[in-house]
Amino acid sequence: MSAAKASLLFLPSAVAATMAAWQVQRMQWKQGIVDEATCNMEQQPVDLLQGTVPEFRRVAVQGVYDHSRAAFVGPRPLSYEPKDPAVKLGMRPMLVTPGALKSGFLLVQPLTSSDKQHTVLVNRGWVPPNWKAQWQERFAALQPRGTVSVTGVVQGSEHPSSFVPHNDAQAGDFFWMDVQGIAESFNLPPDTPMMQVLVDETTRTKGEQPSCSEGVYPLPKPIANVVQFSTMPLGHFNYAVGWGCMSATMAYLAVQVLRKGKR
């Protein structure tokens, strides 16, 4: 067998090995983001109004919500199962209603600092779909009045795929998190920062005090779920192992073919 034909036998193995290496690179890159975010969230909160703060850094701010303005980003499914029994109890009517929990929205509101010198955007968490339709008529009146203490992490804009519709700020339709676009829809400067409220499900502590006076919503994301990818680092590890095994198997078969050819 010629050298050219022999090398072709190892081509599938080489391709699989390349895919395994690529999966390892993706795993390392995403794990680095997770580690950096975890480190930032373990630090003491800093004042969001004291300058530029990196994404995922824990921040705190005090101020007053403007309930005449609200953006609902979505629809979004509830991406995790709450561990707090009180939260589950509050969700029971929705859970037993077919289709009621298929989608909801992330509630974003402007919060003006106590000195009225600065305004930030706050992603307060997940709310059921009827909140968007009945915000002014019902739910705005249930929100905290006066000074609110908010802690969470800095949040940036999302990078949607080509399949996600374009946002329409004039119509109030935000399908993906566009910090600049939401700020401009509130007549705020485009560089207005956004923070995301979190909940510590170990201590059942919500990063917004006081919060809504009725029910469990808005429902912030748990701290452990802040950094989410469609494929997490462990998934890339599994893919890398799979491609690696495939590469080794194909190389073994190629060697066996070559040995038979020499007999």
* Tens of pLDDT, residues 113-172: 988 889 999 999 999 989 999 999 999 999 999 999 999 999 999 888 888 999 998 888
Q: Which of the 8 DSSP states describes residue 146?
A: S
pLDDT at 159: 85
Measure the N-to-C terminal CA separation of the chain; round to a whole number of Å: 11
Averaged pLDDT, 169-194: 93
Residue type, 236: H
Q: Which of 50-59, 216-225, 236-245, 247-256 has the least mean pLDDT? A: 50-59
CA pair distance 50, 58, nearest whole angstrom: 13
CA pair distance 64, 70, nearest whole angstrom: 13
Q: Which of 53-62, 94-103, 225-234, 236-245 has the least mean pLDDT? A: 94-103
Q: What is the pTM of this model?
A: 0.76
Residue type, 187: N
Which distant-in-sequence residues (6+ apart) come within 8 Å of 46 by Cβ?
53, 57, 58, 59, 60
Residue type, 57: R
Averaged pLDDT, 101-106: 78
Please check the confidence at residue 43 and state whether its pLDDT lies above 90: no
